[in-house]
Amino acid sequence: MTRNIRHRAVVAAAFLAAASVLAGCGAGSDAITNKPYSPTEALSVKRNGIDISQAFFLGPDSGATLPAGGATPLYLSMVNTNAGSDQLVGLGVDPALGTAKVSAPVSLPHDQRVSVGRPTPTVFVEGLKKPLKGGESLKVQLQFANAGIVQLDIPVITRSREFTAYPQAPGASAAPTPSPTPSATAGDEHGGH
């Protein structure tokens, strides 16, 4: 092969390799990568005519612990798709976990989204019997006036990333402070001169 032919063969092979990679970019403006995406660990379910989304217990800051005796607030959104209105009247938890507190019944009109915990938390598990960290889940029963009991395993999410704007859980210990790492000085970077 002459040098010119080899050069053309290499260029053609590079073009074909690039074309196959770039073909995946042809999804246009509807590509999933063009849309905002915010993954979350929160629970979303539909049970007994109640659509429950973004359900989580707020845990401690990342690396910290909710101590025994502390509390964790419940956050969730609900839409009542049943014919009539309903109410969230209670929260059931295993007594070995702590005690549930619902400050007041939460009204659920037909087909309207209702947020629990925003702007102020009103549903808690209090008097925790053991320390609680993020990444665990709590078995609970949401008690509705008409829809009955809905059993769920709701995750405990650390107060980090998109959850840092939430108020700290009552009794939460502070996150450990990272210790500074040694860094090079300007003289070290340039060979000490």
pLDDT at 36 over 60: no
Task: Write down all domains in the chain, each with its CATH number in brackets.
Answer: 43-163 (2.60.40.1890)
- Which pLDDT does position 130 carry in this prediction? 92
- Which pLDDT does position 99 carry in this prediction? 95
pLDDT at 186 over 90: no
Higher pLDDT, 113 or 177: 113
The Cα 75–Cα 156 span in angstroms is: 10
44-102 confidence digits (pLDDT tens) = 899 999 999 999 999 998 888 899 999 999 999 999 999 999 999 999 999 999 999 99
The Cα 55–Cα 57 span in angstroms is: 7
pLDDT at 11 over 60: no
pLDDT at 178 over 80: no
Upstream peptide bond of 167 is cis (omega within 30 degrees of 0):
no
114-154 confidence digits (pLDDT tens) = 999 988 899 999 999 999 988 899 999 999 999 999 999 99
Q: Which range is least confidently modeled, 30-34, 39-43, 139-143?
A: 30-34
Q: Coil, strand or helix: which one is 108?
A: strand
H/E segment holding residue 187 = helix 186-189
CA 137 to chain CA centroid, nearest Å: 12
For residue 110, what pLDDT band results from cuts at 50, 70 and 90?
A: very high
Kindly report the backbone phi and psi dihedral angles of residue 72, in degrees, each rounded to the nearest multiple of 5, phi listed first: -130, 125
Q: How crowded is residue 131: how many other Cβ atoms within 10 Å of its Cβ?
A: 14
Structure tokens belonging to residue 138: 């709590």
Structure tokens belonging to residue 89: 């009247």
Residue-wise DSSP of 31-80: -GGGS-------EEEEETTEEEEEEEEEEEETT--BPTT--EEEEEEEEE
- Which pLDDT does position 68 carry in this prediction? 93
CA dihedral for 103, 158, 61, 66, sign (positive or negative): positive
For residue 42, what pLDDT band results from cuts at 50, 70 and 90?
A: confident
The Cα 160–Cα 61 span in angstroms is: 6
Higher pLDDT, 14 or 93: 93
